[in-house]
Amino acid sequence: MSASMETTYLGQVLRNPLVASASPLTGGIESLRRLEDAGIGAVVLPSLFEEQVEHEGMELQRLAEFGAESFAEALGGYHPDVGGYNIAVDAALRLVVEAKEALSVPVIASLNGTSAGGWVRYAEQLANAGADALELNVYLIPTNPSTTGADVENRYTDVVAAVREQVSLPLAVKIGPYFSSTANMAGRLVEAGADGLVLFNRFYQPDIDLEELRVVPNLQLSEPDDIRLPVRWVAVLSDFLACDLAVTSGVHGADDVLKACLVGADVAMMTSALLKYGAEHVTTVLDDMRRWLDEHEYESIDQLRGSLSHRSAPNAESFVRANYMEMLVNYTGR
């Protein structure tokens, strides 16, 4: 009998710990069905972005005010066509509804922003649309030199606290690794109301076009080596945080999912590999995981979870300075 891969994440029972994170593959019902058929444990829908909502709000205001200086007789029949606006919010809510109707696996909605403001309202709408949980992706790049580290951290916790106050839905927060004290910040986010943390957000860096002399977007998919940073921090955080943990970035194959679980993660989230190989890659990953678990005589994912966390690993110092020192001292090159 094969080992059980069942796990729990954000209050939901998942058939396995492999989750499809937000991407074009989770943005349509057909591809969502393919992911479910391939065996995915849960899906995170594409984010509703703060900038999209703000832009549409400005367009609505512009249309409402258009013609305000026109002659009075013209105003009586003037009704601005706003049907094409508020598209992002409506589409996000519709996708939640349709995904819940089409799928049996948990559906996690996502918000991407930097301010508390309207996010409470949109979080409530996503919850009312039927999402099983909510992922809050706080993508903040402070460029004002007067902004302190404390200001940045408070911005994160304020957003989480505001959403938590109004929404009872299980809430995960997806963050980047660039805090001065990641462990302290993780604890503060949980205190603010996060039920789970997703480590780590990848901050895509723009490039420079030397011919056009302009800044251009640049998307680079993750590589397997990228998993080492989130694995290290989940190994540390899983020992003392009372919340769910997800590893994301660099999850490409069965080995990566197993490593995430070994250090204490509840789930591992995959994007780049699915974009490269398609939804069917899920089946390959799960088959390889089952084979490894059976060969190593594990009865379940739960049995191995956390056995190589910072506290449990036989060479725990490798998660901190020991690995750094050993590599510098012993590396000889080729």
User: Tell me, what amino acid is at 21?
Assistant: S
| pTM (predicted TM-score) | 0.85
Residue 56 confidence (pLDDT): 44
SS3 assignment for 214-264: EEECCCCCCCHHHHHHHHHHHHHHCCCCCCEEEEECCCCCHHHHHHHHHCC
Residue 327 above 50 pLDDT? Answer: no
Domain chopping of the chain, boundaries: 7-330
Each residue's pLDDT tens digit, 198-225: 999 887 778 898 999 999 887 788 899 9
Neighbours of 208 (CB within 10 A): 10
Span 19-77, pLDDT tens digits: 999 999 999 999 999 999 999 999 999 999 876 665 444 433 443 343 444 333 333 44
pLDDT in tens, 123-140: 999 999 999 999 999 877
Indicate the fold that domain 7-330 takes in CATH.
TIM Barrel (3.20.20)
Q: pLDDT of 75-93, one tens digit each?
A: 344 333 434 445 688 999 9
As beta bridge partners, residue 134 has: 109, 171
